[in-house]
């Protein structure tokens, strides 16, 4: 649009070139929507590619819960996110707080105390399994579980990348790009090797 004098303006129509890319608008569900800003701050997917927001949301929440699993602290995060939900994207705290409480139940931790839930469940005569983070017997299990989760997340991201390359008809990159088929072969080989080492031990 070219603006002229006396509040007049003229239009100039431009032909769409094959190299021109349409504007991208991300549409996400209510749970993933607050995380869209974390995607747009770094890089927007091209038109026709898969929107990674939902996948990013799942990975972010699970890893947050694994690292900061605590019922009490998770509840505080939910309350803070609820009170600040109308200011920016603070509602993210409600999501991660929920996963913090879920993993906190699995860890049996309330503000760092790992005995309260066990005692309550025993008094109520209910079965309850607590994964003791500080117990040496669980250290190897925790490390293996986190490594497995990390590899599965990377493999999922690689598959998404391959689909994007396919939609863009970049077939050669699927085969030769380090973040496509070679990456899948590498991580699958790592899983097989790790399984073989564990079974021998």
Residue of 95, 11, 101 lying closest to 53 (CA atoms): 95
User: Phi, psi (5° rounding) for residue 3?
Assistant: -85, 135
Range of weakest confidence among 8-17, 67-76, 105-114, 131-140: 8-17
Query: Coil, strand, or helix at residue 7?
Result: coil
Kindly provide the b/e burial profile for residues 137-159, where b requires at least 16 CB atoms within 10 angstroms of the residue's own CB.
eeeeeeeeeeeeeeeebbbebbe
Angle, nearest 10°, between helix axes 92-107 and 53-67? 40
- Is the pTM higher than 0.85? The answer reads no
**Residues 41-99: tens digit of each pLDDT:** 666 677 767 788 888 889 889 989 988 889 999 999 999 988 887 776 778 899 999 99
**Tokens for 85?**
């939900």
> Span 131-142, mean pLDDT?
72
């Amino acid at each position: 649009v070219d603006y002229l004098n006396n509040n007049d303006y003229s239009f100039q129509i431009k032909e769409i070139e094959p190299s021109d890319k349409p504007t991208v608008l991300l549409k996400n569900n209510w749970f993933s929507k607050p995380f869209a800003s974390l995607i747009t701050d770094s890089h927007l997917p091209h038109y026709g590619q898969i929107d990674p927001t939902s996948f990013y949301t799942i990975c972010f929440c699970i890893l947050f819960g694994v690292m900061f699993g605590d019922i009490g602290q998770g509840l505080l995060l939910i309350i803070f996110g609820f009170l600040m939900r109308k200011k920016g994207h603070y509602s993210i705290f409600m999501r991660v707080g929920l996963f913090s409480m879920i993993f906190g139940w699995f860890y049996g931790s309330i503000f760092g105390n790992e005995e309260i839930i066990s005692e309550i469940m025993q008094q109520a005569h209910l079965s309850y399994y607590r994964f003791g983070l500080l117990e040496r017997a669980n250290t190897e299990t925790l490390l293996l579980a986190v490594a497995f989760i990390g590899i599965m997340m990377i493999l999922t991201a690689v598959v998404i990348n391959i689909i994007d390359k396919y939609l863009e008809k970049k077939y050669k990159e699927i085969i030769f790009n380090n973040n496509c088929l070679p990456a899948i072969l590498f991580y699958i080989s790592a899983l097989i090797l790790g399984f073989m080492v564990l079974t021998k031990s």
